[in-house]
């Protein structure tokens, strides 16, 4: 039982390049999330998927797209990377049967955009 896995662990991009961050969970959770963590800002929600087949914007969606490929996988795509997207990205999942259900996080992807 691996929980939530993310690939890659670390990536360096040049401005304008594109890339996809992959996330998978093996806990049969309905909901999945993408966050970014920046110094002094905590975790900010980029996009979430309440259930397979649905996606919705979070606090900071601009410059990102997502795909809920199936119940297990939720990818985050940067079409044209910008230095402002340098951050640590966390994927999370949860089974929202009740309010306050905790989220399970992956180990993160550290992205540097030059």
Partner 1 sequence: DQQVKQNSPSLSVQEGRISILNCDYTNSMFDYFLWYKKYPAEGPTFLISISSIKDKNEDGRFTVFLNKSAKHLSLHIVPSQPGDSAVYFCAAPIDTGGFKTIFGAGTRLFVKA
**Residues found near partner 1 in the complex (CB under 8 A):** 4, 31, 33, 35, 40-45, 48, 50, 56, 58-59, 90, 92, 94, 96, 98-108
Quote the Cα angle for 79-64-10, to 5°. 75
* Cβ-based nearer residue to partner 1, 19 or 43: 43
Residue 11 C-beta: closest distance to partner 1, Å: 15
Minimum distance from CB of 102 to partner 1 (Å)? 4
Report the relative pairing of strands 64-68 and 74-78 from DSSP bridges. Answer: antiparallel
Contact 71, 25 (CB under 8 A): no
Q: Which helix (H) or strand (E) holds 44?
A: strand 42-49
Tell me how far, at minimum, the Cβ of 15 lies from partner 1, in Å: 26
């Amino acid at each position: 039982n691996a929980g939530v896995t993310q690939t890659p662990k670390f990536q360096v991009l040049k401005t304008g390049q594109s890339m996809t961050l992959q996330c998978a969970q093996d806990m049969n959770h309905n909901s999945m999330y993408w966050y970014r963590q920046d110094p002094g800002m905590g975790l900010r929600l980029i996009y979430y998927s309440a259930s397979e087949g649905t996606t919705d914007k979070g606090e900071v969606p601009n410059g990102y797209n997502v795909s809920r490929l199936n119940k297990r996988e939720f990818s985050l795509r940067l079409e044209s990377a910008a230095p402002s997207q340098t951050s640590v990205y966390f994927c999370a999942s949860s089974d929202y049967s009740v309010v306050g259900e905790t989220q399970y996080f992956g180990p993160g992807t550290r992205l540097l955009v030059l």
